[in-house]
Structure 1
Amino acid sequence: MLLAKPSGVLIRSLLLSLYLLVFTIPYALLCFLVFPFMNARHRYAMAATWCRITLWMLRTLNGITYQFKGFDNLPNGPAVLLSKHQSAWETLAFPALMPRPLCFVFKRELVFVPFFGWTLGMLKMVQIDRRKGHSAFASMIRQGRTRLAEGAWVIMFPEGTRTPIGVRGQYKAGGAHFAVSAGVPVIPIAHNAGHVWPRNSFIKYPGVVTISIGQPIQTAGRTPAEVNAEVEAWIETEMQRIDPAAYL
């Protein structure tokens, strides 16, 4: 359970918001200006640098650190990462911490968000136009396979939206379906970032985020439903192990 907000936590959260306002907008504008002259690898590296700087600010200002469990389970080859989704923390931490470029799957409408969306649209991610129904999924498969062939890992949040701590969202099978169609393993990821940066919360709480990475789940000869069920079972079981108090 999150405790009452002491004044120091509030002030540090205000300072982080000031940093995001003062640093992020100029950085995004710089990306927008220089990206046309950079290749895809350098664009991603520049975007990931912002993530690393922000992680450093979160540690320095807000006392938020992290630890890995099972980092050696990450493969030396193509894979689809399917992660628990509790916070904004993981969306900026994963590009900074993973050993390969990540390809996020996101709604096309995000590219119209000023600064952030404009920069995101110039990176090699997978954009989905949900108005196009089945053809949108076919487009995701096509784009995702291209990104895998280029050496990136595709990452998705099967719950779709951020969930409060101790809550199991509905696991959608889109990520498993893509992994089966692409013939690559799934890497399940559990974490408890919701304690330090709760969803829709202005306040950031000090603490250690545990990121637990499971062994690859093979997809050959299996249905998306089977793979998705195994992903859900592993993540939710692991969540109770790394964050038992949230599931009492």
Structure 2
Amino acid sequence: MAFLRSALHALWMLVTVVPWALWMVVASLWASGEEMYWKAVRWLRWQVGAARLLCGIEVRVTGMEHLPDGRTSPAILLVKHQSTLETFLMPTLMPHPLAYVFKRELIHIPFFGWAIGRMDMIHIDRRKRAQAFNRVVEQGRRLLAQGVWIIMFPEGTRIPRGRQGTYKTGGTRLAVATGAPVVPVAVSSAKVWPRKAFIKRPGLVDVVIGRPIPSQGRDPDELMREVEAWIEAEMRRLDPEAYR
């Protein structure tokens, strides 16, 4: 049954991504950056809703009250990365538009990549490391000033359930450079949608949003260690079976 449900969800994503992506490419000829963003969020809501209806995946969010207030209040979200689910889920939860920092190669993926390539995100060429970070800071400042929040996965890739990846300091370096606070987020998505897995299983995913951590005057390495400590402690609280 789990295989059938997962197959239906995959089919739903496939049949909806093609017209959605083509519409995004056409709409980019006249729509503003924010309009493009909320068009994308609509498609993401379809996928999260389908995961709930077809696969039995429920989401519980705590800590929304910790998010900064204000139309242009800045924030850099640093999120635990276990699954594709949080990539789809986070924009559907946040009150501000989000800009992902992602590798440039993704925009060449047919349909999905074409669509995100038309949005005001931060795509970087990882072969040019120094230039890539300068680009992140330049675009990050501009987006944060517009009220767009930056979202990054500090481990860099999806991490298997119960494991801890290497937390890279790109997010905290950006925070220190821009003065934006960092908001740590723990997500227990691998319990239902494991890394690189086709089969999804019914269950509850917890999303816990931590209190913003000021970045001004901080050392990026020290700040990332604080983020890492909070996220990993929260993951062990949310999913103790995986960390035995």
Q: Under a length normalisation based on structure 2, what TM-score does the superposition of the two structures give?
A: 0.97
Q: CA separation in 2, counterparts of 1:219 and 1:87?
A: 28
Alignment partner of 1:49 is 2:42: yes
Matches within 5 A, 1:54-203: 54-76=47-69, 77-203=73-199
Q: CA separation in 2, counterparts of 1:48 and 1:36?
A: 18
SS at match of 2:157: coil
SS at match of 2:29: helix
Shift of 1:145: 0.8
Q: Name the counterpart of 1:38.
A: 31
Q: CA separation in 2, counterparts of 1:127 and 1:10?
A: 34
Q: Name the counterpart of 1:21.
A: 14
Shift of 1:112: 1.1
Q: 1:128-183: per-residue Cα shift (whole Å, max 9, x none)?
A: 11122211111110011111011111000000000011100000001000001100
Q: CA separation in 1, counterparts of 2:29 and 2:222?
A: 42
Q: CA separation in 1, counterparts of 2:138 and 2:230?
A: 28
SS at match of 1:189: strand
Q: CA separation in 2, counterparts of 1:30 and 1:147?
A: 24
Shift of 1:31: 1.2
Structure 1: tracts of 5 or more residues without a match: 1-7
Q: Name the counterpart of 1:215.
A: 211
Identity %: 49
Q: Name the counterpart of 1:5.
A: none
| Aligned AA (1:184) | A
Q: Name the counterpart of 1:3.
A: none
Q: CA separation in 1, counterparts of 2:165 and 2:129?
A: 23
Comparing 199-208 with 19-28, greater Cα deviation is found at 19-28
Shift of 1:118: 0.8
Q: CA separation in 2, counterparts of 1:192 and 1:22?
A: 28
Structure 2: tracts of 5 or more residues without a match: none
The ranges of structure 1 where at least 4 consecutive aligned residues each deviate by more than 2 angstroms after the TM superposition are: none
Q: CA separation in 1, counterparts of 2:161 and 2:129?
A: 32
| Aligned AA (2:33) | A
Aligned residues: 241
Match of 1:206 among 177, 202, 207: 202
Q: CA separation in 2, counterparts of 1:167 and 1:132?
A: 29
Instruction: Give the aligned CA root-mean-square deviation in angstroms.
Output: 0.8
Q: Name the counterpart of 2:221.
A: 225
| Aligned AA (2:42) | T
SS at match of 1:123: coil
Q: CA separation in 2, counterparts of 1:198 and 1:211?
A: 16
SS at match of 2:161: coil
